[in-house]
Structure 1
Amino acid sequence: MKKLFVLLCISIFTLGYSQDDKLTDFKRNEIKGNALFLVLGAVEVTYERLPNENSGLGVSLFFVSEEDFDTSFSLTPFYRAYFGKKPAAGFFVEGFSMINTGKNGSYSYYDYNTNTSYNVEGEKYTDFALGFGLGSKWVHKRGFVFEINAGIGRNLFSNNSPEVVGRGGITLGYRF
Protein backbone atom coordinates (compact mmCIF):
# COMPACT_ATOMS: atom_id res chain seq x y z
CA MET A 1 0.00 0.00 0.00
CA LYS A 2 2.86 2.30 0.85
CA LYS A 3 4.53 1.67 -2.56
CA LEU A 4 1.25 2.34 -4.37
CA PHE A 5 0.86 5.65 -2.52
CA VAL A 6 4.42 6.74 -3.41
CA LEU A 7 3.87 5.75 -7.06
CA LEU A 8 0.61 7.71 -7.14
CA CYS A 9 2.29 10.81 -5.62
CA ILE A 10 5.16 10.68 -8.13
CA SER A 11 2.68 10.29 -11.01
CA ILE A 12 0.63 13.28 -9.89
CA PHE A 13 3.81 15.33 -9.37
CA THR A 14 5.13 14.61 -12.88
CA LEU A 15 1.75 15.40 -14.46
CA GLY A 16 1.51 18.64 -12.50
CA TYR A 17 5.08 19.58 -13.37
CA SER A 18 4.64 19.30 -17.12
CA GLN A 19 4.52 22.72 -18.74
CA ASP A 20 3.04 24.07 -21.89
CA ASP A 21 6.23 25.83 -22.95
CA LYS A 22 5.72 26.90 -26.53
CA LEU A 23 8.92 27.94 -28.17
CA THR A 24 8.17 30.16 -31.09
CA ASP A 25 10.89 30.51 -33.64
CA PHE A 26 10.94 33.91 -35.32
CA LYS A 27 13.40 36.03 -37.22
CA ARG A 28 15.49 38.06 -34.79
CA ASN A 29 17.20 40.82 -36.83
CA GLU A 30 15.79 43.97 -38.39
CA ILE A 31 17.29 46.63 -40.63
CA LYS A 32 15.21 49.79 -41.12
CA GLY A 33 15.37 53.21 -42.72
CA ASN A 34 13.50 56.32 -41.61
CA ALA A 35 11.36 57.38 -44.59
CA LEU A 36 10.29 60.65 -42.94
CA PHE A 37 13.87 61.87 -42.51
CA LEU A 38 14.74 60.77 -46.04
CA VAL A 39 12.01 63.07 -47.37
CA LEU A 40 13.38 65.90 -45.21
CA GLY A 41 16.93 65.42 -46.53
CA ALA A 42 18.50 63.40 -43.70
CA VAL A 43 19.43 59.73 -43.34
CA GLU A 44 18.65 57.48 -40.38
CA VAL A 45 19.43 53.76 -40.47
CA THR A 46 18.51 51.39 -37.63
CA TYR A 47 19.54 47.85 -36.71
CA GLU A 48 17.54 45.99 -34.07
CA ARG A 49 18.23 42.58 -32.50
CA LEU A 50 15.31 40.76 -30.87
CA PRO A 51 16.57 38.56 -28.00
CA ASN A 52 13.03 37.37 -27.20
CA GLU A 53 9.40 37.99 -28.15
CA ASN A 54 8.94 40.95 -25.82
CA SER A 55 12.11 43.02 -26.16
CA GLY A 56 14.54 44.48 -28.63
CA LEU A 57 18.01 46.03 -28.51
CA GLY A 58 19.17 48.30 -31.29
CA VAL A 59 21.16 51.23 -32.53
CA SER A 60 20.27 54.10 -34.88
CA LEU A 61 22.71 56.17 -36.90
CA PHE A 62 21.54 59.62 -38.06
CA PHE A 63 23.44 62.07 -40.23
CA VAL A 64 22.65 65.07 -42.40
CA SER A 65 24.79 67.50 -44.39
CA GLU A 66 22.19 70.26 -44.72
CA GLU A 67 22.28 73.23 -42.37
CA ASP A 68 18.53 73.21 -41.69
CA PHE A 69 19.05 70.73 -38.83
CA ASP A 70 20.74 71.68 -35.55
CA THR A 71 21.94 68.09 -35.10
CA SER A 72 24.24 66.86 -37.85
CA PHE A 73 25.07 63.41 -36.40
CA SER A 74 23.70 61.13 -33.71
CA LEU A 75 24.33 57.59 -32.54
CA THR A 76 21.39 56.23 -30.54
CA PRO A 77 21.42 52.85 -28.75
CA PHE A 78 17.99 51.83 -27.43
CA TYR A 79 16.02 49.15 -25.60
CA ARG A 80 12.37 48.41 -26.37
CA ALA A 81 9.70 46.49 -24.47
CA TYR A 82 6.90 45.21 -26.74
CA PHE A 83 3.30 44.63 -25.67
CA GLY A 84 1.76 43.12 -28.84
CA LYS A 85 0.42 39.65 -29.55
CA LYS A 86 2.95 38.92 -32.31
CA PRO A 87 6.66 38.48 -31.49
CA ALA A 88 8.35 41.90 -31.10
CA ALA A 89 5.44 43.79 -32.65
CA GLY A 90 2.63 46.09 -31.57
CA PHE A 91 2.86 48.89 -29.04
CA PHE A 92 6.29 49.48 -27.49
CA VAL A 93 8.01 51.65 -24.89
CA GLU A 94 11.61 52.66 -25.55
CA GLY A 95 14.49 53.92 -23.45
CA PHE A 96 17.42 55.43 -25.32
CA SER A 97 20.72 57.22 -24.97
CA MET A 98 22.11 59.49 -27.66
CA ILE A 99 25.48 60.92 -28.59
CA ASN A 100 24.78 63.94 -30.78
CA THR A 101 26.81 66.63 -32.51
CA GLY A 102 25.90 69.74 -34.47
CA LYS A 103 25.75 73.53 -34.46
CA ASN A 104 23.41 75.36 -32.13
CA GLY A 105 22.00 78.76 -32.96
CA SER A 106 22.84 79.05 -36.68
CA TYR A 107 20.53 81.42 -38.53
CA SER A 108 20.28 83.73 -41.52
CA TYR A 109 18.74 87.18 -41.75
CA TYR A 110 18.30 89.92 -44.32
CA ASP A 111 19.00 93.59 -43.55
CA TYR A 112 16.51 95.65 -45.53
CA ASN A 113 18.35 98.90 -44.80
CA THR A 114 21.54 97.79 -46.56
CA ASN A 115 19.96 95.08 -48.78
CA THR A 116 22.43 92.53 -47.44
CA SER A 117 21.96 88.92 -46.36
CA TYR A 118 23.88 87.66 -43.30
CA ASN A 119 24.60 84.13 -42.08
CA VAL A 120 25.39 83.73 -38.39
CA GLU A 121 27.21 80.51 -37.51
CA GLY A 122 26.25 78.75 -34.30
CA GLU A 123 28.60 77.11 -31.85
CA LYS A 124 29.56 73.47 -32.40
CA TYR A 125 28.57 71.02 -29.70
CA THR A 126 28.84 67.36 -28.77
CA ASP A 127 26.61 66.03 -26.02
CA PHE A 128 25.06 62.93 -24.46
CA ALA A 129 21.31 62.60 -23.92
CA LEU A 130 18.96 60.17 -22.15
CA GLY A 131 15.32 59.81 -23.05
CA PHE A 132 12.27 57.64 -23.66
CA GLY A 133 9.83 57.07 -26.49
CA LEU A 134 6.64 55.34 -27.56
CA GLY A 135 5.62 53.74 -30.79
CA SER A 136 4.01 50.90 -32.64
CA LYS A 137 5.38 48.31 -35.06
CA TRP A 138 3.60 46.17 -37.63
CA VAL A 139 5.28 43.13 -39.15
CA HIS A 140 4.11 41.46 -42.36
CA LYS A 141 4.29 37.67 -42.57
CA ARG A 142 6.98 38.00 -45.26
CA GLY A 143 9.18 40.06 -42.95
CA PHE A 144 8.45 43.64 -43.99
CA VAL A 145 8.30 46.08 -41.07
CA PHE A 146 6.41 49.38 -40.70
CA GLU A 147 6.94 51.48 -37.58
CA ILE A 148 5.85 54.83 -36.18
CA ASN A 149 7.63 56.21 -33.13
CA ALA A 150 8.31 59.41 -31.21
CA GLY A 151 10.54 60.18 -28.25
CA ILE A 152 12.06 62.95 -26.24
CA GLY A 153 15.29 63.23 -24.29
CA ARG A 154 17.51 65.69 -22.50
CA ASN A 155 21.13 66.59 -23.22
CA LEU A 156 23.16 66.34 -20.03
CA PHE A 157 26.59 67.96 -20.32
CA SER A 158 27.18 70.80 -22.81
CA ASN A 159 25.91 74.36 -22.39
CA ASN A 160 26.10 74.92 -26.18
CA SER A 161 23.76 72.04 -27.09
CA PRO A 162 19.98 72.16 -27.25
CA GLU A 163 18.48 71.21 -23.90
CA VAL A 164 15.92 68.83 -25.44
CA VAL A 165 16.46 66.29 -28.23
CA GLY A 166 13.78 64.57 -30.22
CA ARG A 167 13.59 61.15 -31.79
CA GLY A 168 10.98 59.74 -34.09
CA GLY A 169 9.86 58.91 -37.55
CA ILE A 170 8.05 56.71 -39.97
CA THR A 171 10.26 53.71 -40.56
CA LEU A 172 10.28 50.97 -43.21
CA GLY A 173 12.42 47.86 -43.02
CA TYR A 174 12.87 44.13 -43.19
CA ARG A 175 13.08 41.42 -40.53
CA PHE A 176 15.51 38.58 -41.27
Structure 2
Amino acid sequence: MKKLNITTVIVFLILSIFKVQSQEEKVSQIQGKNEIKLNGFYLALGVAEISYERILNNESAVGISVNFDLEENNLYNFGVIPYYRLYFGKKKAAGFFIEGNAAVIADDPRPCYDCFLSPGPRESKLYFGLGVAAGGKFISRKGWVGEIFIGIGRFFGTNEYYHISELYPRVGISFGKRF
Protein backbone atom coordinates (compact mmCIF):
# COMPACT_ATOMS: atom_id res chain seq x y z
CA MET A 1 0.00 0.00 0.00
CA LYS A 2 2.84 2.42 0.84
CA LYS A 3 4.50 1.70 -2.55
CA LEU A 4 1.27 2.64 -4.32
CA ASN A 5 1.04 5.97 -2.42
CA ILE A 6 4.70 6.85 -3.10
CA THR A 7 4.31 6.00 -6.80
CA THR A 8 1.16 8.10 -7.03
CA VAL A 9 2.90 11.07 -5.40
CA ILE A 10 5.92 10.78 -7.76
CA VAL A 11 3.69 10.55 -10.85
CA PHE A 12 1.66 13.52 -9.61
CA LEU A 13 4.83 15.61 -9.09
CA ILE A 14 6.19 14.75 -12.54
CA LEU A 15 2.89 15.68 -14.20
CA SER A 16 2.77 18.93 -12.24
CA ILE A 17 6.26 19.88 -13.44
CA PHE A 18 5.28 19.24 -17.07
CA LYS A 19 2.11 21.30 -16.65
CA VAL A 20 4.03 24.27 -15.19
CA GLN A 21 6.56 24.11 -18.05
CA SER A 22 3.81 24.05 -20.68
CA GLN A 23 2.13 27.08 -19.05
CA GLU A 24 5.45 28.99 -19.09
CA GLU A 25 5.89 28.19 -22.78
CA LYS A 26 2.36 29.48 -23.52
CA VAL A 27 3.04 32.76 -21.71
CA SER A 28 6.34 33.28 -23.53
CA GLN A 29 4.62 32.62 -26.88
CA ILE A 30 1.94 35.20 -26.08
CA GLN A 31 4.56 37.68 -24.97
CA GLY A 32 6.35 37.93 -28.32
CA LYS A 33 9.06 40.39 -29.28
CA ASN A 34 6.94 43.05 -31.01
CA GLU A 35 4.52 45.67 -29.70
CA ILE A 36 2.17 48.16 -31.33
CA LYS A 37 0.84 50.95 -29.08
CA LEU A 38 -1.36 54.06 -29.29
CA ASN A 39 -0.73 57.02 -26.99
CA GLY A 40 -4.09 57.96 -25.48
CA PHE A 41 -2.72 61.07 -23.74
CA TYR A 42 -1.59 62.69 -27.00
CA LEU A 43 -4.78 61.57 -28.74
CA ALA A 44 -6.77 63.60 -26.20
CA LEU A 45 -4.63 66.64 -27.14
CA GLY A 46 -5.28 66.26 -30.86
CA VAL A 47 -2.08 64.44 -31.80
CA ALA A 48 -2.00 60.82 -32.95
CA GLU A 49 1.07 58.91 -31.76
CA ILE A 50 1.62 55.30 -32.81
CA SER A 51 4.61 53.34 -31.52
CA TYR A 52 6.31 50.13 -32.55
CA GLU A 53 8.70 48.47 -30.09
CA ARG A 54 11.04 45.53 -30.69
CA ILE A 55 12.19 43.65 -27.59
CA LEU A 56 15.90 42.82 -27.73
CA ASN A 57 16.12 40.78 -24.51
CA ASN A 58 14.49 40.65 -21.06
CA GLU A 59 15.95 44.03 -20.08
CA SER A 60 16.01 46.18 -23.22
CA ALA A 61 14.08 47.23 -26.29
CA VAL A 62 14.24 49.68 -29.18
CA GLY A 63 11.29 51.44 -30.71
CA ILE A 64 10.02 54.24 -32.85
CA SER A 65 7.09 56.59 -32.28
CA VAL A 66 5.45 58.47 -35.12
CA ASN A 67 3.12 61.35 -34.34
CA PHE A 68 1.12 63.68 -36.51
CA ASP A 69 -1.22 66.57 -35.92
CA LEU A 70 -4.96 65.94 -36.03
CA GLU A 71 -5.92 69.58 -35.38
CA GLU A 72 -4.65 72.84 -36.81
CA ASN A 73 -3.89 74.54 -33.50
CA ASN A 74 -0.89 72.40 -32.51
CA LEU A 75 2.70 73.57 -32.99
CA TYR A 76 3.99 70.30 -34.43
CA ASN A 77 2.92 68.96 -37.81
CA PHE A 78 4.77 65.62 -37.84
CA GLY A 79 7.35 63.87 -35.67
CA VAL A 80 9.46 60.73 -35.47
CA ILE A 81 11.02 59.69 -32.14
CA PRO A 82 13.29 56.62 -32.07
CA TYR A 83 14.06 55.39 -28.56
CA TYR A 84 15.96 52.83 -26.49
CA ARG A 85 14.56 51.51 -23.20
CA LEU A 86 16.22 49.71 -20.31
CA TYR A 87 13.77 47.74 -18.11
CA PHE A 88 14.16 46.88 -14.43
CA GLY A 89 11.10 44.63 -13.90
CA LYS A 90 10.82 40.91 -13.24
CA LYS A 91 8.79 40.21 -16.40
CA LYS A 92 10.27 40.30 -19.88
CA ALA A 93 10.59 43.97 -21.01
CA ALA A 94 8.11 45.19 -18.38
CA GLY A 95 8.10 47.13 -15.12
CA PHE A 96 10.01 50.34 -14.44
CA PHE A 97 12.08 51.66 -17.36
CA ILE A 98 14.33 54.52 -18.39
CA GLU A 99 14.44 55.76 -21.96
CA GLY A 100 16.84 57.67 -24.16
CA ASN A 101 15.30 59.17 -27.29
CA ALA A 102 15.98 61.35 -30.29
CA ALA A 103 13.40 63.50 -32.04
CA VAL A 104 12.90 64.77 -35.56
CA ILE A 105 9.95 67.17 -35.59
CA ALA A 106 8.46 69.25 -38.43
CA ASP A 107 6.70 72.35 -37.17
CA ASP A 108 3.50 73.79 -38.57
CA PRO A 109 4.21 76.15 -41.50
CA ARG A 110 1.40 78.56 -40.58
CA PRO A 111 2.16 82.29 -40.73
CA CYS A 112 4.04 83.76 -37.81
CA TYR A 113 2.92 87.38 -37.52
CA ASP A 114 4.36 87.87 -34.06
CA CYS A 115 7.89 86.77 -35.07
CA PHE A 116 10.38 89.60 -34.61
CA LEU A 117 12.62 89.33 -37.70
CA SER A 118 10.60 87.26 -40.17
CA PRO A 119 6.86 87.95 -39.89
CA GLY A 120 4.39 86.53 -42.40
CA PRO A 121 4.19 83.23 -44.22
CA ARG A 122 7.07 80.82 -43.82
CA GLU A 123 8.10 77.27 -44.63
CA SER A 124 8.00 74.26 -42.36
CA LYS A 125 11.25 73.63 -40.51
CA LEU A 126 12.78 70.42 -39.13
CA TYR A 127 14.07 70.27 -35.57
CA PHE A 128 16.39 67.65 -34.09
CA GLY A 129 16.69 66.87 -30.40
CA LEU A 130 17.69 64.40 -27.68
CA GLY A 131 15.76 63.51 -24.56
CA VAL A 132 15.13 61.15 -21.66
CA ALA A 133 12.05 59.65 -20.07
CA ALA A 134 11.07 57.23 -17.30
CA GLY A 135 7.95 55.20 -16.73
CA GLY A 136 6.35 51.85 -16.15
CA LYS A 137 5.01 49.15 -18.43
CA PHE A 138 2.40 46.59 -17.44
CA ILE A 139 1.51 43.47 -19.42
CA SER A 140 -1.38 41.02 -19.11
CA ARG A 141 -1.19 37.27 -19.60
CA LYS A 142 -2.85 37.66 -22.99
CA GLY A 143 -0.24 40.15 -24.21
CA TRP A 144 -2.10 43.44 -23.72
CA VAL A 145 0.26 46.26 -22.79
CA GLY A 146 -0.30 49.46 -20.84
CA GLU A 147 2.37 52.01 -20.04
CA ILE A 148 2.74 55.42 -18.52
CA PHE A 149 5.81 57.60 -18.95
CA ILE A 150 7.06 61.16 -18.66
CA GLY A 151 10.17 62.85 -19.92
CA ILE A 152 11.68 65.85 -21.65
CA GLY A 153 14.03 66.56 -24.51
CA ARG A 154 15.90 69.50 -25.96
CA PHE A 155 16.01 70.64 -29.58
CA PHE A 156 19.30 71.77 -31.10
CA GLY A 157 19.59 74.84 -33.32
CA THR A 158 16.36 76.60 -32.27
CA ASN A 159 16.26 80.34 -31.73
CA GLU A 160 13.83 82.97 -30.53
CA TYR A 161 12.63 83.88 -34.03
CA TYR A 162 10.61 80.69 -34.43
CA HIS A 163 7.54 79.83 -32.42
CA ILE A 164 8.81 76.40 -31.38
CA SER A 165 10.22 75.90 -27.89
CA GLU A 166 13.71 74.61 -27.18
CA LEU A 167 12.14 71.75 -25.20
CA TYR A 168 9.81 68.95 -26.25
CA PRO A 169 7.66 66.80 -23.96
CA ARG A 170 7.78 63.01 -23.92
CA VAL A 171 4.57 62.06 -22.12
CA GLY A 172 2.21 59.16 -22.60
CA ILE A 173 -0.47 56.84 -21.40
CA SER A 174 -0.25 54.14 -24.06
CA PHE A 175 -2.19 50.97 -24.72
CA GLY A 176 -1.35 48.21 -27.15
CA LYS A 177 -0.63 44.59 -27.87
CA ARG A 178 2.49 42.44 -27.71
CA PHE A 179 2.73 39.77 -30.37
Whether contact under 8 Å (1:127, 1:156) holds in the other structure is yes
**Within-5 A mapping of 1:10-159:** 25=28, 26-103=31-108, 124-159=124-159
User: For the aligned residues, what is the CA RMSD?
Assistant: 2.6
TM-superposed CA distance for 1:144, in Å, is 0.3
Cα distance in structure 2, aligned partners of 1:146 and 1:65: 23
Could you say which structure has the higher helix fraction? 2
Q: Percent identity?
A: 40
Counterpart pick for 2:175 among 145, 167, 172: 172
TM-score of the superposed pair, with normalisation by structure 2: 0.72
3-state SS of paired residue (1:48): strand
Instruction: Please identify which structure carries the higher strand content.
Output: 1
Unaligned runs of 5+ in 1: 1-22, 109-119
Q: Which has the larger radius of gyration?
A: 1
In structure 1, give the amino acid aligned to 2:147: E
Task: Give aligned pairs, total.
Answer: 144
Matches of 2:176 and 2:87, distance apart in 1: 17
Change (3 A) 1:85 1:106: farther
Question: TM-score, normalized by length of structure 1?
Answer: 0.73
Point out where structure 2 has 5 or more consecutive residues left out of the alignment. 1-24, 114-119
Q: How far has the Cα of 1:65 moved from its partner?
A: 3.7
Q: In structure 1, what is the Cα distance between the partners aligned to 2:77 and 2:110?
A: 13
Quote how far apart the aligned CAs of 1:107 are.
8.0
Q: 1:122 to 1:150 in 2, by over 3 A?
A: farther
